[in-house]
Amino acid sequence: MPWVLGGAADVAGSTKVILDYPDAGEFQPYGALGDYGGHNLRYGIREHAMCAVVNGMVLTGLRAYDSCYLIFTDYARGAIRLASLMDLPVLHIWTHDSISLGQDGPTHQPIEQLVSLRAVPGLMVIRPADANETVEAFRLAMPHKSRPVALILTRQAVPTFDRSAFGPASGLANGAYVLADAPDGKPDVILIGTGSEVALCVAARDLLAKDKIKARVVSMPCRELFDAQDEAYRESVLPASVTARVTVEEASPIGWDRYAGPKGIVLGMNTFGLSAPLKVVSEHFGFTPERVAAAAKMALGL
């Protein structure tokens, strides 16, 4: 798609958005570095200016994207909000999305950014669980003509689920879907996760199965899309009869109570993060399969 172009605010190598196909080129003054036909834009440390420039390019009919670490969306809030206010199909690619980025520490570990972006009217916030969901997120985002999309991606490696054993990633288009179910389709507890935390829910499901507790894992990459589904679909994913629920996201817990329900448990972050290796950070804040399984038992009254 030759009309797709963009870049990052000085972190293109880390956020993996460099276009490297033949003739993609660098947008630079004519010379050794590139020319004005290049598709890669180097914005420097200018998050607000980057998002504002992308808004302008989209207004001209280009399919432009911006990228930076999720924490630094704070600097670009005005331009992000204007894209949504103006119904512009901007593609935002924001990575390093949780405390699991590790040793960069609390200054780089986002806590309140996800909930604040979800509060922007019209902005579609998608946090994929694996490579397949990421493909589906791009498939969903690219045809949009009047709504900005924010892809929220991890820094750390995450497993790619075998879709012959798990639900199809195309369920992302519905905002949430059953990734793994109880053997009889009648779960005792529902584990709801986004992004990298979906893998925690899958591992916790396996632990619960050893205690003969049937768990359903729901991947919920986009709350806005799920809320827009009809009641029958929402009920098929989160049946009202199953009140034992656990939501898992390494971010502010605000808003998750509506999916956990009055008897469910919300696992989130109420503090800033920690500068330490990923494993240490995860264990310190309790984002482990064992903690998720324990929360599930608590929700069941066990």
Quickly list DSSP for 85-113.
HTT---EEEEE--SGGG-TT-TTTS-SSH
Read off the tokens for 73.
Answer: 């969306």
Burial letters 70-108, b for 16+ CB under 10 A, else e: bbbbebbbebbbebbeeebbbbbbbbbbbbbbbeeeeeb
Neighbours of 254 (CB within 10 A): 15
End-to-end, the C-alpha distance of the chain in Å comes to 54
Question: How many CB atoms within 10 Å of residue 290?
Answer: 13
Q: H-helix or E-strand containing 248?
A: strand 245-248
Q: Are 150 and 222 in contact (CB under 8 A)?
A: no
Catalytic residue positions, numbered: 47
What phi and psi, each to the nearest 5 degrees, are found at residue 92?
-100, 135
Question: Which helix or strand (DSSP H or E) is residue 208 part of?
Answer: helix 197-210
Characterize the bridge pairing of strands 245-248 and 265-267.
parallel
CA-to-CA distance for 178 and 172, rounded, in angstroms? 10
Interhelix angle 47-59/77-85, nearest 10 degrees: 20
